[in-house]
């Protein structure tokens, strides 16, 4: 009896609950966007986007609302079909993104309300959900976003920030090679947003996936990204490298200067658009 | 604090019985005092007595069982077909184009209007009653299942697709659970129609069942048995609704509206 109990207890010693994510080697996937265009009806949203994102790079995409930045992510995730051009993954090896390699975080948490927090995280494992150790991976990931104690709760009882953390855990649990972030922090309050930005940066540094962040918050883009891309009139208007040391302080001189430059450009574009509209 | 917990918990279950009990008490007093003629309404005690008498002879149990069986079989057949059509038409646009128009047209015919036809087809056999119940239950379950599938949050469906769910996973993990609250609305509507149809069918064309018991009692002016039949219908209806509520509570425990505080 006692030996059985010991044997049963042994595995838990091998998997101590730590704040570390399930170990994953740096394995970002390079993405090349080649002449990508998309139109809805007669309305061209993207007109020939060319972009190379290196493996493990953090790229932020900014632009005014309706500029097509979210459409770009949806095309990448194969949720929509391009009207022209396309993608190359892993240095030209694949044209369509392997659904297991890319994960997405939406602006809304989009958790299944009828599944517990832990079951929602397991959605991110896809077909591996039934594999040995799947539950443990989900638990470790939930622990990494500091929500291990909510594992059996319904999503309805969580706060907005907690829901978005569960959504992040769901996106990360499979160890994705690309993480597409579609304004994931847009609906959060300022304090929660800063905490989430730190968490996302930590996770990205730890796992080394390629991150594509669509955001309307220029400060967020400058704080997190290696490169900031600005889309205007369906094309890339600005491609700016951010060479500031991490962790970056929100409001520091370097961040503020870059943020100012990008905002100026965005606003001048907006002024231009207004003038054309008036005419 | 304690008082609030008490009134919210145990008393809630009791308060819903206060009005029926008061009505029965007033009714008993009115008959006993002679304000209400027993030729209009027998006293509750007489109704209870009639119930005991019929229960002892075994007649009550037999008729209740027959009615219950007809209701259950009719509900299972009509509900099952309605559920299947609701799923098919909710999931597939092509399926909806083929069937929905016809079904909506048939729905506008009151199913009780078919009683003469049904009697001609099936006589006063079991089939007639089951057919009518199934037809009545079909539509609420069909409509609410279809509506439930249709109104599942498209953002969740997109999430499922983006996370590589197969069509069957998408159905079992996203569409069906999402449609469940609406399906339960259909089930509760269907239960109401089930009893209504059965009562009408049994009073018009039957040789057993609660409705038949009431009609036979009318012939012999047994007012207490007539009232007893009505009370039994009310109790059976209440029981069916309670079962549906309990199922709802279990299946929808994730839903904020059904969460126990």
Does the beta-carbon distance from B173 to A112 stay under 8 Å? yes
**Interface predicted TM-score of the whole assembly (ipTM), two decimals:** 0.81
What local confidence, expressed as pLDDT, does residue A105 receive? 95
Interface of B with A (CB under 8 A): 155-156, 158-165, 173-174, 177-178, 180, 252-256, 259
Which of A130, A128, A110 lies closest to A120 in space, CA to CA?
Answer: A110
Of A108, A114, A124, Cβ closest to residue B177: A114
Q: Is the pLDDT of residue B114 over 70?
A: yes
The secondary structure of chain A as a DSSP string is: -HHHHHHHHHHHHHS---SSPSP-------EEEEEEEEEETTEEEEEEEEEEE-TT-EEEEE-STTSSHHHHHHHHTTSS--SEEEEEETTTTBSS--TTTEEEE-SS----TTS-HHHHHHHTTGGGGGSTTHHHHHHHHHHHTT-GGGTTS-GGGS-HHHHHHHHHHHHHTT--SEEEEESTTTTS-HHHHHHHHHHHHHHHHHH--EEEEE-S-HHHHHHH-SEEEEEETTEEEEEEE---PSSPPTT-HHHHHHHHHHHHHHHHHHHHHHHHHH-
The answer to whether A128 faces chain B, any CB pair under 8 Å, is no
Which of A206, A204, A200 lies closest to A184 in space, CA to CA?
Answer: A200
Q: In b/e form, how buried is each residue of B32-49, taking b as 16+ CB within 10 angstroms?
A: eeeebeeeebbbbebbee
Bigger pLDDT: B61 or A15?
Answer: B61
Cβ-based contacts of B256 with chain A (< 8 Å): 156
What local confidence, expressed as pLDDT, does residue B257 receive? 82
Mutate to test the interface with B, among A123, A124, A180, A182 (most CBs of B within 10 A): A123
Does the beta-carbon distance from A123 to B163 stay under 8 Å? yes
- The C-alpha of B255 sits at a distance from chain A's nearest C-alpha, in angstroms, of 7
> What digits encode the pLDDT tens for the residues B170-183?
999 999 999 999 99
Give the span between the Cα atoms of A167 and A184, in whole angstroms. Answer: 9
Mutate to test the interface with B, among A112, A167, A174 (most CBs of B within 10 A): A112
- The C-alpha of B163 sits at a distance from chain A's nearest C-alpha, in angstroms, of 6
Residue of B nearest to A119 (CA): B173
Of B158, B180, B255, Cβ closest to residue A79: B158
Question: Which residues, other chains included, contact B36 with Cβ-Cβ below 8 Å and sequence gap of 6+?
Answer: B27, B30
Output the pTM of the full model. 0.81
Does the beta-carbon distance from B156 to A99 stay under 8 Å? no
Q: Which of A3-17, A19-33, B1-15, B31-45 has the lowest mean pLDDT?
A: A3-17
- The C-alpha of A161 sits at a distance from chain B's nearest C-alpha, in angstroms, of 18
The answer to whether A181 faces chain B, any CB pair under 8 Å, is no
Does the beta-carbon distance from A103 to B163 stay under 8 Å? yes
> What digits encode the pLDDT tens for the residues B212-248?
999 999 899 889 999 999 999 888 888 999 999 999 9
User: Cβ-count burial of B117 within 10 angstroms (0-12 exposed, 13-18 middle, 19+ buried)?
Assistant: exposed
Give the span between the Cα atoms of A213 and A223, in whole angstroms. Answer: 12
Question: Which residues, other chains included, contact B181 with Cβ-Cβ below 8 Å and sequence gap of 6+?
Answer: B148, B252, B255
What local confidence, expressed as pLDDT, does residue A9 receive? 38
Q: Please provide the average confidence, as pLDDT, over all residues in chain B.
A: 89
Of A79, A114, A156, Cβ closest to residue B162: A79
Question: Which residues, other chains included, contact A170 with Cβ-Cβ below 8 Å and sequence gap of 6+?
Answer: A103, A111, A120, A121, A123, A124, B163
Does the beta-carbon distance from A79 to B161 stay under 8 Å? yes
- What pLDDT tens digit does each residue of chain A (279 aa) get? 344 443 333 333 333 333 444 444 447 888 999 999 999 888 889 998 999 999 999 999 998 887 888 899 999 988 889 998 888 887 777 777 777 789 999 999 999 999 999 999 999 998 888 888 889 999 999 998 989 999 999 999 999 999 999 999 999 999 899 999 999 998 888 888 998 999 999 999 988 999 999 998 999 999 999 999 999 888 898 899 998 888 888 778 888 998 998 888 888 876 555 555 444
Cβ-based contacts of A110 with chain B (< 8 Å): 155-156, 158-159
What local confidence, expressed as pLDDT, does residue A16 receive? 35
Q: How confident is the model at residue B141 (pLDDT cuts 50, 70, 90)?
A: very high
The answer to whether A193 faces chain B, any CB pair under 8 Å, is no
Does the beta-carbon distance from A123 to B178 stay under 8 Å? no
Residue of A nearest to B253 (CA): A114
Residue of B nearest to A153 (CA): B254
């Amino acid at each position: 009896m006692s030996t059985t109990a010991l044997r049963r207890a042994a595995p838990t010693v091998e998997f101590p609950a730590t704040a570390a994510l399930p170990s994953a080697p740096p394995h970002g996937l390079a993405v090349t966007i080649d002449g990508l265009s998309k139109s809805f009806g007669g309305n061209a949203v993207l007109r020939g986007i060319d972009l190379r994102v290196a493996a493990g790079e953090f790229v932020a995409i900014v632009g005014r609302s309706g500029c097509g930045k979210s459409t770009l992510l949806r095309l990448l995730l194969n949720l929509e079909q391009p009207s022209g051009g396309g993608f190359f993954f892993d240095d030209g090896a694949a044209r369509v993104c392997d659904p297991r390699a890319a994960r997405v975080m939406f602006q809304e948490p989009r958790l299944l309300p009828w599944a517990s927090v832990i079951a929602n995280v397991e959605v991110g494992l896809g077909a591996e959900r039934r594999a040995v150790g799947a539950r443990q991976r989900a638990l470790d990931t939930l622990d990494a976003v500091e929500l291990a104690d909510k594992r059996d709760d319904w999503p309805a009882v969580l706060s907005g920030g907690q829901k978005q953390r569960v959504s992040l855990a769901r996106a990360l649990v499979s160890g994705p090679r690309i993480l597409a972030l579609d304004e994931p922090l847009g609906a959060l309050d300022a304090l929660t947003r800063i905490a989430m930005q730190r968490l996302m940066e930590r996770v990205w540094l730890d796992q080394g996936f390629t991150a594509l962040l669509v955001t309307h918050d220029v400060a967020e883009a400058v704080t997190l990204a290696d490169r900031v891309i600005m889309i205007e009139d369906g094309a890339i208007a600005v491609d700016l490298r951010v060479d500031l040391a991490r962790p970056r302080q929100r409001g520091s001189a370097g961040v503020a200067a870059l943020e100012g430059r990008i905002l100026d450009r965005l606003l001048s574009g907006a002024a231009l658009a207004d003038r054309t509209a008036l005419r | 604090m304690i008082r609030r917990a008490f009134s919210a918990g145990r008393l809630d279950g009791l308060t819903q019985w206060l009005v029926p009990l008061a009505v029965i008490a007033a009714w008993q007093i009115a008959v006993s005092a002679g304000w209400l003629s027993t030729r209009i309404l027998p006293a509750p005690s007489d109704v209870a007595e009639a119930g005991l008498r019929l229960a002892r002879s075994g007649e009550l149990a037999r008729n209740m069982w027959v009615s219950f069986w007809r209701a259950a079989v009719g509900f299972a057949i009509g509900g099952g077909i309605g559920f299947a059509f609701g799923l098919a038409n909710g999931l597939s646009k092509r399926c909806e184009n083929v069937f929905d128009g016809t079904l909506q047209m048939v729905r506008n015919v009151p199913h009780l209007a078919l009683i003469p036809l049904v009697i001609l087809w099936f006589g006063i056999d079991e089939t007639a009653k089951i057919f009518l119940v199934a037809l009545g239950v079909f539509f609420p379950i069909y409509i609410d299942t279809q509506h439930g599938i249709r109104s599942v949050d498209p953002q969740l469906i997109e999430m499922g697709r983006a996370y590589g769910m197969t069509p069957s996973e998408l159905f079992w993990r996203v569409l069906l659970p999402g449609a469940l609250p609406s399906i339960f609305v259909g089930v509760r509507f269907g239960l109401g129609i089930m009893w209504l149809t059965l009562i009408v069918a049994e009073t018009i064309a039957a040789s057993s069942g609660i409705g038949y018991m009431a009609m036979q009692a009318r012939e012999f002016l047994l007012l207490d048995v007539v009232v007893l039949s009505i009370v039994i219908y009310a109790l059976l209806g209440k029981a069916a609704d309670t079962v549906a509520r309990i199922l709802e509570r279990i299946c929808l425990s994730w839903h904020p509206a059904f969460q126990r505080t």
